[in-house]
Amino acid sequence: MIGALSVLDRFLPVWIIAAMGAGLLLGRLVPDLDAALDAVKVGEISLPIALGLLLMMYPVLAKVRYDRLGSVTGDRRLLISSLLLNWVLGPALMFALAWIFLPGLPEYRTGLIIVGLARCIAMVLIWNDLACGSREAAAVLVALNSIFQVVAFGALGWFYLQVLPGWLGLSQATLDVSAWDIAFYVLVFLGIPLAAGYASRKLGERARGRDWYEQRFLPRISPVALYGLLFTIVILFALQGHTITSQPADVARIALPLLAYFALMWGGGFLVGKAIGLAYDKTTTLAFTAAGNNFELAIAVAVGVFGVTSGQALAGVVGPLIEVPVLVALVYVSLWGRRLFTAEEPARA
């Protein structure tokens, strides 16, 4: 459980807080650093952030035992629950919280709704792995979210920003985003590390066997995931350091509905998993995939549609500012909650 974590994992909150602080400090103290980093991009994808995410995701996806995915895809309870939590409850909850907490701030409200539509396909793999969730279930649910993200993101944006507010007599907003753009984000942030992880396992096991792959190769590359996470956090907060520190009151306003959202989504996912009889590993995977959001997609869409200095973009930036420490804390809550399950899961390789 918690005591079994490595020193690097056990003190992860310390490293993350340090990385956030370093990023904010760099963004404030180094002239034009944010502009220089932001200039290195393809479309709206920041290449430094993309590099960090790829480094972060590859070791986790290399650990997946792809020959076990069939047992996950056959678990209808898990798949249906995940789809309902991610694509029905999640966007609806963020819509409600945005209007409850930010009724008179339309730009921030729209930004939060966009965050709620961008379901997590990247960083959730780290939180799930640290909490001893099922890697195979995480891979399947992330792939499922990716498919729905391409198909449903634009449609749900239209519904929650135009149709539903119109029905309720509320102010409306527009979201012009291409499904091809969403597909490109999915390809970069999931397709590349997934292909690399799959190839590593297949080639490694074929050349040296599963024992060598899992006992020698994986321990060597595992720390790269956390290094990639910390690098991503430093770059992300360096890019947005000035914006965050120059508007602390607005950041606090946006943070309140986000805190409620992450707590309710994670808690709801965990309770649903326990109620439908899932084992601990799949329950915690369900909870983290429900609570996490694709911050890079949300920021890119907000910047591309509304502009880099818009309130919508600021709301997207505040997303990871709140999500990262909250979900790290929930890793420890999840490990503590493992005792609620009668059958302890076997140790993972």
The pLDDT tens digits of the residues spanning 42-87 come to: 666 678 877 887 888 888 889 988 888 887 877 899 999 999 999 9
Q: pLDDT value at position 208?
A: 92
Q: pLDDT value at position 2?
A: 45
pLDDT at residue 1 above 50?
Answer: no
pTM, to two decimals: 0.83
Q: C-alpha angle with apex 116: 250 to 55, nearest 5 degrees?
A: 95
Q: pLDDT value at position 348?
A: 55
Q: pLDDT value at position 105?
A: 92
Determine which of 164-178, 191-205, 307-321 has the lowest per-residue pLDDT on average. Answer: 307-321
Please state, rounded to an integer, the average pLDDT across all residues of the chain. 85
The pLDDT tens digits of the residues spanning 99-141 come to: 999 998 999 999 999 999 988 877 788 889 889 999 999 989 9
Q: pLDDT value at position 33?
A: 73
pLDDT at residue 6 above 70?
Answer: no
The pLDDT tens digits of the residues spanning 204-222 come to: 999 999 999 999 998 899 8
> Looking at the chain, how many residues does it have?
349
Torsion 335-339-345-349 (CA) sign: positive
Spell out the domains of the chain, with CATH numbers in brackets. 42-222+246-337 (1.20.1530.20)
The phi, psi pair for 23, rounded to 5°, reads -65, -45
Q: At what angle do helices 248-275 and 106-117 cross, to 10 degrees?
A: 30
Q: What is the mean pLDDT of residues 231-239?
A: 80
Q: pLDDT value at position 189?
A: 75
How far apart CA 328 and CA 9 sit, in angstroms, is 10
Q: pLDDT value at position 305?
A: 80
Q: What is the mean pLDDT of residues 91-98?
A: 97
How far apart CA 233 and CA 113 sit, in angstroms, is 22
Q: pLDDT value at position 202?
A: 93
Q: What is the mean pLDDT of residues 243-256?
A: 84
The pLDDT tens digits of the residues spanning 289-339 come to: 999 888 777 877 887 788 766 888 888 878 888 888 899 899 999 999 998
Percent of the chain at pLDDT > 70 equals 91
Contact between residue 242 and residue 34 where contact means Cβ atoms under 8 Å apart: yes
The dihedral region occupied by 315, where left means phi > 0, alpha psi between -120 and 50, and beta the remainder, is alpha
pLDDT at residue 183 above 60?
Answer: yes
The phi, psi pair for 328, rounded to 5°, reads -65, -45
Q: pLDDT value at position 81?
A: 96
